[in-house]
Amino acid sequence: MSANLVPLETFLDLPDHARLLGLDLGSKTIGLALSDLERQIATPLETIRRVKFGFDAAALVKVAELHRVAGMIIGLPLNMDGSEGPRVQSTRAFVRNIAPLTSLPIAFWDERLSTMAVTRTLLAADASRAKRAAVVDKMAAAYILQGALDRLMRMAPQAE
- For residue 85, being part of any structural domain is answered with yes
- Does residue 108 fall inside a structural domain? yes
**10-residue mean pLDDT series, the chain (160 residues):** 85 94 93 96 95 95 96 91 89 94 95 69 64 72 94 82
Looking at residue 131, its pLDDT comes to 59
Is 130 within the bounds of a domain?
yes
The verdict on residue 111 lying in a domain is yes
User: How many domains in the chain?
Assistant: 1
Whether residue 102 is contained in a domain is answered as yes
Q: What are phi and psi of 25, to 5 degrees?
A: -85, 120
Which of 71, 59, 57, 58 is CA-nearest to residue 21?
71
4 domain residue, yes or no = no
Query: What pLDDT is stored for residue 133 in this prediction?
Result: 59
Domain assignment of residue 30, yes or no: yes
Query: Residue 98 sits in a domain of what CATH number?
Result: 3.30.420.140
For position 128, what pLDDT does the model report? Answer: 64
**Residue 64: domain span:** 19-155
Any domain includes 6? no
- Cβ proximity of 60 and 12 under 8 Å: no
- Residue 119 pLDDT: 66
Q: According to the model, what pLDDT value does residue 127 have?
A: 62
